[in-house]
Structures are given as structure tokens and as C-alpha cells.
A and B are shown apart, each in its own frame.
Chain A
Amino acid sequence: MSAGDDARAARLELLRRLNRGFAEMVPHNRALGMELVSLDDADAVMRLPYAPHLVGNPDTGVLHGGAVSSLMDACCGAAVFMALAEPVPIATLDLRIDYLKPAAPGQDVIAHACCYKVTRNVAFVRSVAFHDSEADPIASAVGAFMLATRLGHWQRGAGT
């Protein structure tokens, strides 16, 4: 096996471990069937496999907008984590989603999010959702996330 193969195998193993943790840690992501596809600096790609229980319009079989917004929210959050020097709890401040065209029935939805700016308190993210190509998007989103100033900030109820 070449060094390139080793690196690739290590990345895949890391992704598998992250996926397990991600699903175990976030019940709603697990219930939706979301999975991480890839992670990079300030960047995340996630997949929402098509599933009958996520359908919003039973006549057409098109996914509910809420399932797409959950995917984009989760993917944006993952991109924020990938932009932080050290992990701190984050909370969505706001998220705007534009629905550009209906998702096609039976097809998985992919979301790609990029955290393009991190300040002391707030991280800024944009994301696009698509089936096959980012050039043919289903939805686009832009959002801001609050960063905890120290570990445990929200655990003590300060954010509520």
C-alpha cells in the first residue's frame, strides 16, 4: 500500500469514527439518518438519505422543507466546528434558507457548508444543498452561530 493509500484509509477511518460520535451525540441527526460525507478546514459536507418518513407532500413524495433545513443547520454547525481552533459549544443565532427548487423524490440531498468568518463571539456560515452538483442547487442558506466564551457557558443556563 502506498503512503497515499495509508493517508486515505486513515481519513476514512477518522470519518467513520466522527460519524459514529455525530450520530450518537445528536439524536435528531440520527433520527433523520444524516451522515457526514467529508470535513475540511471550516468546511463540511453532509448527506440526508431520502426516506419515506421525511416526505412533506404525500402526493408528490417531495421531502419536507423542515428536513432540508435540519440538514443545512447541522451542516452549518459542523463547518463552524471545523473553523474553531478548539471546540466550544455553539448555538444557532439565526438561519435563513432560500428554497430554489423542489428536491426530487427518491434522491438523497447533499449539503455543503463553509464557515467564512469567525469572530470572538460569532461565526458566520453559508451553505448550499443539492442532489448531484452545487451548480444546480435545491436550497441555499446563510446563518450565524454564537460561540460559548468558555466551556460550560450554556450548561449553566446562561444562554437560556
Chain B
Amino acid sequence: MNVAERIAEARRTRDLAALTDAVPYAAFLGFSLTLLDGELVGKMRYADHLIGNPALPALHGGAIGALLESTAIFQILWDAETIVLPKTVNITVDYLRSGRPLDTFARGIITKHGRRVVNVRVEAWQEDRTRPIALANGHFLILPGDG
């Protein structure tokens, strides 16, 4: 199965693991998807190799960025009516607090779904959802026939 077929299958069966299992970088990141109260939530399972600053210790900003970007892409795939692999045009990550050595969660909200481009806002948190550790805003191209 290619990526598009796997997405179609996962949406049909609601098998979220099938979506992420095929992506090597998702395994490296410990990334998985869960449904929390009907919302799609991305999770990055804590592992020592995600640390960027061992003195604190704190998660690497790049790992948090990858969690936010992945969550945004899967949110688009989950909501979309047709299967087009979103391509990141750009993403801006604001780092609000240092990421502690814990599991990290992220939730993407589609702020504008245009014909060619989707704008997504994503928030990442750890133990307390009211204290986000990072925010991202990204634009993703959704052009049929791509990818």
C-alpha cells in the first residue's frame, strides 16, 4: 500500500496506528495519534534521545517542532474529503516553556481550509493542557496529484 491507500484504510477502519506505523521518522520520534473526546491528538512518547539540553533537562526544540508539524499534517489528512498529501509551505513555532522529560501532546485546529492551502494552528502541552509549551502556525499545500 502507498501512503494515500493507507490513509484511506485508516480512515475507514479508524485504525490510527496504521497511519503512523509506516512513517520511519514517526517511530524515531515516538509519535502516535489518539482520539481524546473525539479530538485527534498527536503524542510524542518521552525518550532520552529527544533531549536537547541535558542540564535542565529539556526536550530539543526540533523534536517539539516535528511533533507540531506532524500533528498538523495528520489533522488535515483526518479532516479532508479527498486524499492529498499536504506539503508544508512554512511553519512558525513559538516556544513558550521548556519541554520537560515527559510525554508531550499536540492538537491541531484548521483555521482556514482553502482550495490550495490550509492554515493550521497547533498547540503542544505536557501535564497541564492550560499551560502550553509551544504553539505553531503553518501553511500546507493540498494540490491533487502531488505526492
Contacts and interface: CB of A to CB of B under 8 A. Distances in A.
A66 B95 contact: no
Interface residues on B, range: 35 or more
Given A64-B66, A73-B61, A160 B97 contact: yes
A93 B49 contact: no
B60 A58 contact: no
B54 interface: yes
B140 to A, nearest CB: 10
Contacts of A8: none
A135 interface: no
Given A26-B60, A55-B24, A98 B98 contact: no
B63 to A, nearest CB: 6
Interface string B67-93: 101100000000000000101111111
A59 B60 contact: no
Nearest to B141: A99
Interface string B21-58: 01111111100000000000000000011111111100
Nearest to B3: A59
A98 B87 CA distance: 11
A29 B95 contact: no
A46 B104 CA distance: 27
B13 interface: no
Interface residues on A, range: 35 or more
A94 B136 CA distance: 9
A61 B65 CA distance: 21
B103 interface: no
Interface string B115-141: 000000000000000000000000000
A27 B69 CA distance: 21
B69 A98 contact: no
A98 B50 contact: no
A69 B55 contact: no
Given A27-B48, A54-B25, A69 B60 contact: no
Interface string A22-58: 0001111111100000000000000000001111111
A96 B90 contact: yes
Interface of A: 25-32, 52-60, 63-67, 69-74, 89, 91-99, 102, 154-155, 159-160
Given A26-B53, A69-B66, 20 more contacts: A26-B60, A28-B49, A28-B63, A31-B50, A54-B28, A58-B24, A60-B147, A64-B66, A65-B66, A66-B70, A69-B62, A70-B61, A70-B63, A71-B62, A93-B94, A94-B93, A94-B94, A96-B91, A97-B65, A159-B98
